[in-house]
Each structure stands twice: as structure tokens, then as C-alpha cells.
Chains A and B, each alone.
Chain A
Amino acid sequence: MRQDPALSRRGFIAATLAAGGAALFYVRPGSQPAAAATAVLLNGWIRIAPDGAITVFSRATELGQGALTSLALIVAEELALDPASIGVEMAPVTEAFMDHGNTLGYGVGAAYYATWGSLSSRDMDGSMRKIAATVRVLLLRAAAQTWTVPESECNAENGVVRHAGGRTSTYAALAPTAATLPVPQDIEPRPRADWRRLGRATARFDIPAKTDGSAIYGVDVKRPGLLVATIAQCPMFGGKLESVDVSTVEKMPGVKTVLALEDAVAVIATGYWPAKQGLARLRPIWRAGDRKAADSGAQYASLRRAVQAPDHLFLPKGAQAAELLAAHSAGMAAATAHLEALYEVPFLAHAPMEPMNATAHITPHGAELWVPTQFQSMVRDVVAELLGLPGEKVTVHTTAVGGGFGRRTEIDYAIQAAKIARHTEQPVKLIWSREEDTSRGYFRPMAVMRLTAGLDAKGEPTAFSFTAACPSIMDYSIERRHGAPQQEIEEAGLANARDLPYALSAQKISLASADLGVPLTWMRSVGSQASVFGVECFLDEMAAAAKADPLAYRRRLLRQRPRELAVVERLAALAGWDRPAAAGRHRGFAMNAANGSVVAQIVELEVSAQRAVILHRVYCVVDCGVAFNPDAVVAQMEGGIIFGLTGALLGEISLKDGAVVQKNFDSYPLLTLAQTPKIEVSILQSDAPVGGVGEEAVPPVGPAVANALFSATGQRLRSLPLMRQGFTLADAI
């Protein structure tokens, strides 16, 4: 979700390889008493057991994106093995397996174990490919040394090292020797041209257990003596619990105890239903916080004021503010036509299908947590701090995760579970109701964007500006509260408006900071959800003012960007853009270049006389450099498009008197199967490094729909959700 992180992998690899050199050893793992001796290679990332079983550790969480399968594919490629023969386990949440090299985006000065920012594949590309390649060389060297033959005459394939002279030995037999050898620092992974396993559609390993109910999500965790809690939190953000009468509820069958927290009340019971029944009987008295209760209307009004007076100018590297502003003014002065528009997006809830939950067991020896989370190291550190324990006394188990989308980078529910479990000897599973999940944040920020452009007599842009008034995610996210610097102030508001692929000269990109008192966090593609909506719709406005075809106009602005242009050309061909649309159908285009990938989409729709919108097709082309598992990339494009349609067409979190109005899926609807258009995805392989795919398909689809609606109706929609602007969404056909 974070954009444009500085990917400094070198430090990580060097540290891992060096640590591997120091820590290579041959152990009898205490945690697996039944297992015989296992060779631990490269600091434990890869383990080879005597029976030949190969296990790789992941610090990427499986969120349904196929991260664990990609990791297995990488190891399979370098070690020349069947991917299905490789076991992938979540690495322990300990220092050795954290990202010390800032690989996963900006750091907080500590180590990270997290899944975000479309970074999992990029992390693996930069680290695990090299680690696995190094293991292969160590196995070859062990064989060469044992047989006193040249390493170059040995070959590793399907679990066996073979010498040209005919001698063979299994990886398992060689592993103990390999683990004692000095670790080379300069091994290169296989070049793409030689790949035999990576880059081919591979069935995901996590899928079978998701077809028979056997996958264990956080909400499914079973422990001996387990209690279940549910919670009501103060409906006003920043408010507190004033008082609550617990006398009758604590006598209800199944209820163990009622616990008053600072801003919430929890009922602990033998199961979810008695806990929920108890909670429903409580009449907690809430006290509003210091901030004035807000309504969405007032919040929009304050952002509309703020956007007129930005307080932060984005300066590209080497640029001087005075020169940039002068160039922009000159560009505007040279224009013969001026355009200006405000675009607006509301708060959004992530609404993963698995409501927030966490299980905690706190004993005199330490704390153990089972959490569906995207941010294991923060769970460990914050719970340790809360309980006054050293980090190593807090064990965090990652469960299957019923949807993350960024919401599970926050750990509020895990902190609550630990606070509750402090009061019981038994483990406690805290489960939020759907109503709590929808209404309690953390949200995608509300934003108001002001865009302006100057056009010359031919309609070509002479100047361009983008200003976002948007509250800062970093003011609320857990990272900021635990020491992250404010360097990312631009993150949510500007996103990739800072780095548009279009040749828009005399650009001015600025931010008006704001605080609406509503907790915010990263949501799948983060600020691009807003900025791509504003920019791609405004480009259509510019094209219309220039009386140009929207795609022809963009093609001119992408002349210097061959990669983006190639995506546009492939997409235009796929969608038949240069031929007229079928009668009654209208098309819109939008593109998102972010996180090392380029995704462009064309939406084809129809609007009935009653203003019902029928989505016919979404065409999508992605260039993510290379796709480790192409079918998983297609699935991410499909999922991103549907996530984007829900957000842009239907999604809105609004506030009234300081409390969120929406509670469940009746007031916070998701796109349905019946409304979902046919989606056609094409992957364009390029020489670019591997890019992200988890987030990048989300932003373009909303503006593509808005642009198609303009083509259909002549009406320019500049506020989300689009279906609250006088249209309804019909079933697709």
C-alpha cells in the first residue's frame, strides 16, 4: 500500500548472508523433538531434513494473494525441485527473520515483519532468490569437496547432486556438510531466460484447505479452556467509557465477566453468542472526546476550504520551490484556456469478510497470541510493552487471514485481546461484531482534490496542478505512534500524483494537511484510490476541452514513456478502442503506474433511460515486469477491479454527530456476483524488475467508470461513490 518505497535490499541480503555465515550450524531443533537432525541453512531461512523435506520460512503473510506459493516457486527454481515438494512455514516472529534492511518500505528504526505495500514479491525477488541460489551452490560445493571433484562438474536437480562421472548424493545427505561451509556473498540467481518453474501458472498451495473448511483463520482458533469475548467501543472517535452497570449481565448464563476498558466495554463468556447477548443488555454511558462531534458535510466543507490554501509543496529531487512556482505561473499565463475542478472521495472501511479478532493467552511465563495480522512484529512489540515483557516472551502465531486490504496492519484488536486476557487465566478470543468492524475505523481517508490545467490553442497542456486536502494516515497509524518519522506526510494525499507518467509540464503538486479526528490507515493502493480518480478524470476533462479522443490525448502525453505506452496500446487492441463501441455502450479509460507496475483498464458500460448502470466489461492490461505465478496475477487483477468497483461505485463511510452511520453490509454494500462485469486480463511481460500486483488494479477502475459515464451521459461525476450521484447499479448481463 505504501508507494515508492526505497527498496534497499542490498543491506538485507548482506546481513542475511553474513548472519548465515556466522550462524550456519547443524542442529537438533528443540521445537521438533521427533524430527531427526536438520541442516539449517542461511540463518534458518531454508532447512533440509534428513528425509529430504525442504522447508522455507516466509515473513510474508498469505492473504490470498499467493505469497507462499510464489516463495515455494522461487526456492523450487533455484534448487531445481518440484514446487509441491517444498514446505513453506511462517517464520518465527523473532529478530533473525525480520527485515532489518528497510526492504519493506520506510522503517521506524526497528525491524519489521509485515505484509504490505505490494512488496512481498519484490522482497522475495530481492532476497529469497539469492538466498536459495546460495543454498544450491553450497550443496554443489559440499558434493565437490566430498568427492574431490571440480564444482563445475556437478549439477543439482530434483533433490540430487550428480557428478559428471556418475556419482550422486541427495541434497539431504549433503546438507550437513553444506551447512558448515563458508557462505559465498556473490551468487546470482538464475536469469529469467533459464526459468523452468517460476513464471508458469502454478496451483496455489493454500487453496485446497479453503474448499473444505479446514483452513484455520483467527476466528477459528481453538485452545484448551478458551473463552470468547466481544466488545462495544465508544461510537464517537476519541470518546471514553463513562460508566456501565454490569450487575445483571454478569449473572447471565455463559457470561464470565464484564470488563470496562478506557474506551470500550467487553463481555467475556463461554462462547460468542452468550458474550454477544450480554453485550446487547449492557447500557454503557459514553463520554465524547475533546474534539467536536463532526458530520460528513462539515468535514467535506473544511477540506474544500483547506484545498484552496495548500501548506506543503512537493518538490521533485533537485527542484527549487521558487523556480517551480514561477514555471507553473508562466505555464498558466501562456494558456488560452483554463480548467479547474474539485474531486472528492469519502472515508471507506476495509470490510474484510473475517471481522477483526485475536486470541491471547497470558501466563506468568509470557504471552502467546494467535492473530490474523499483516504486522506481526508490531503485535509482538506493542503487546510486550503493554505487559512489561521482553519481546522474546511474546509469541505471535499467524493464522489464516480472512482478508487484509491494509486493515490488518493496525493491531488495535490484538492490543484489546491482550488487555482482556490479562484478566483471565484461560486464553481469550476477542471477536468483533460486523457492526464494530464497519464503524470503528481505521478508514481510508476522505479527501478533496483540486486540479487545474492550462491548455494552449491546440489543447495541449501548458501547466498542471494537483492539490489534495487530506488528513494524514501517519497521524493515526500504529507505526507513527511507535516512532515512525513524519517523512510520509505526502503519502495518503498525493500518492502517485507525485510521479505521473504523463508529460504534464509546469506541474505543481501540493498538499493541504488536515485532521478530522477520524482514525485512518492504509487501504489497498492507499492514496492512489483518490489521486488516480482525480487525475484520470481530469485528463478526460482536458481531452474533452481539446476536443480529442481521451486515449489519443493520453498517447501524446506518454510519448516519452514506452512502458506505459505499450500497456495502453495492448489495452486499446484488447478492448477494440479504435473501433466504435457497440450500440448503446460507452467506454472509459484510466491507468495507474505504481509500485513498479503499470495497470490500465477500459470499462464498457450501458446506462438505461432510468439511469441504471450496467457494467458489461472491464479490460485490464498489467505490466508487472515479470509474473512469478501468472494465474495469481490475473486473480489479483480481477480482485483489485472488484474491490475498486465496490469502493468507487458503492462505498461510503459517513459520520453524523461524530459517529459512523454505516454498520453492516446493508448500509455498507459490496459489489455482488450479479453486478460484476466480465473481466478480461492480459499480462504484458517486460524486462522491468518484478512489480507489485496486490494493489495496483484497484485505482483505475473507478475513474474508468466515471469517464465512461461521461461518454454516456455528458455528465461529469466528481464525487464518490458514483452510484450516489443519481445512478443505480444494475446487474451485469
Chain B
Amino acid sequence: MTYSLSINGQQKTVIVAGDTPLLWVLRDNLGLTGTKFGCGAGLCGACTVHLDGQPVRSCLVTIGAVAHAKITTIEGLSADRSHPLQRAWIAEQVPQCGYCQSGMLMVAAALLRDNPRPSEEDIRSTMTNLCRCGTYPRVKRAILRASSQRGNAP
């Protein structure tokens, strides 16, 4: 099947079987490797992208089901690492191996957009992505930092 996709504000055409998970279309067909393969079962969140602004685990949705949606990947979060969360991630020195961080950032970005001043409890209940290096304390700190920066902005 041929699909016309809106990805990070650009139109892309791919020819791929309709049952292919979005994750593998992004990675193997479009070369957008910032979205990571961790478990293939929706358990780890490393593959999280936004569909029409909502965080979705891209290993669980087929291209046939989501081709109409506006897709945003980590590569589209900002052009130059200027998203408040990316700046906070660097300021708090969050990543270790870094593999899970694209998914963490995409979930956190959706959280902050809907809830600009999340409580610690909001962060705990939303950030269910898995990290093996143990960056959770810094993930939490970086989200709080980004949210307070945002709150101070004019």
C-alpha cells in the first residue's frame, strides 16, 4: 500500500504493508531512528511518538490505522534542542545510555502541553516509560525544571 504521511510537518510517501507498525515505518522506511525499538509490545515506551499531539507507543499501532494523523517524532520536537524539556534534560544531565530518552521526552512533552505545572504525582502517574540506567530521579527533576521555566515565561 502507498501511504501519504504528515511527519514533523512534512509530507512523506511510503509504500509498505498496511499491518506494519508505525515504529518500523519511521525507522526502516523513513530513516527516523530517534524513535527507539525497546520491547515491541508497548511495555517500555521507548518508541513513543505523538499522533495528533497524543503520546502513542508506535510499536503497537499499524501504519494503516494512523496514516491520517499528524505524526511528531523526537526529531520534530524542536529544530535545535530548544524545547524547554530538551534544555532541562541537558541542564539536569538526565540521559545515561540515552536509549529510552526519546520516548521519555515525547511523553513529558505531551504532559507539559496539557498540564503546564504538573505535580510530582502527575509525573509519577504519567511517566511509565522504562529506563534501565536509572535516570528516573533526573527525569522528574527535568520535568519540574521545564515546567517552572515555562511558568516564568511571559
Contact = CB atoms under 8 A, between A and B. Distances in A.
Interface of A: 63-65, 203-204, 206-217, 219-220, 222, 228, 253-254, 270-274, 276, 351-355, 400-405, 431, 433-434, 631-632, 635, 638-643, 646, 664-666, 670-674, 676, 678-679, 731-732
B134 A638 contact: yes
A213 B32 contact: yes
Given A228-B28, A433-B40, A666-B41, 9 more contacts: A211-B101, A212-B77, A213-B33, A353-B46, A404-B97, A405-B132, A434-B38, A673-B128, A678-B137
B136 interface: yes
A207 B36 contact: no
A351 B138 contact: no
A646 B130 CA distance: 11
Contact of A219 (B36, B86, B90): B36
B140 interface: yes
B147 interface: no
B54 interface: no
A693 to B, nearest CB: 12
Given A272-B37, A353-B44, A679 B137 contact: yes
A639 B134 contact: yes
B65 interface: no
B3 interface: no
Contact of B136 (A219, A632, A673): A673
Contacts of A402: 36, 97-99
A212 B98 contact: no
Nearest to A642: B134
A271 B44 CA distance: 22
Say what secondary structure dominates the interface of chain B. Answer: loop
16 contacts: A211-B90, A212-B75, A213-B73, A214-B34, A220-B27, A271-B29, A272-B27, A273-B20, A273-B21, A273-B24, A273-B28, A353-B38, A353-B130, A355-B38, A400-B97, A670-B131
B127 interface: yes
A270 B25 CA distance: 12
A699 to B, nearest CB: 14
B10 to A, nearest CB: 15
Given A272-B24, A434-B38, A672 B97 contact: no
B98 A207 contact: yes
A183 B127 CA distance: 55
Nearest to A697: B134
Nearest to A228: B28
A704 to B, nearest CB: 16
Interface of B: 17, 20-21, 24, 27-29, 31-41, 43-44, 46, 73-75, 77-78, 81, 86, 89-90, 93-102, 105, 123-125, 127-140
A204 B93 contact: yes
Contact of A203 (B90, B99, B127): B90
A211 B95 contact: yes
Contact of B132 (A209, A213, A273, A351): A351
A443 to B, nearest CB: 15
B105 A211 contact: yes
Contacts of B131: 353, 642, 670, 673
Contacts, number: 183
Contacts of A664: 39-41, 43
Contact of A208 (B90, B125, B127, B136): B90
Given A215-B98, A639-B133, A673 B124 contact: yes
B102 A213 contact: yes
User: What 4 A-B pairs have minimum CB-CB distances, sorted nearest first?
Assistant: A213-B34, A642-B134, A210-B98, A64-B96
A632 B39 CA distance: 28
A665 B96 contact: no
A631 B129 CA distance: 24
A674 B130 CA distance: 11
A352 B130 CA distance: 10
Contacts of A203: 90, 93
A665 B130 contact: yes
Contacts of B32: 213
Contacts of A638: 134-135, 137-138
B135 A207 contact: no
Contacts of A640: 134
A639 B86 contact: no
A635 B35 contact: no
Contacts of B39: 434, 664-665
A639 B99 contact: no
Contacts of B86: 211-212
Contacts of A219: 33, 36-37
Nearest to A434: B39
A253 to B, nearest CB: 7
Contact of B95 (A207, A351, A401): A207
A619 B18 CA distance: 51
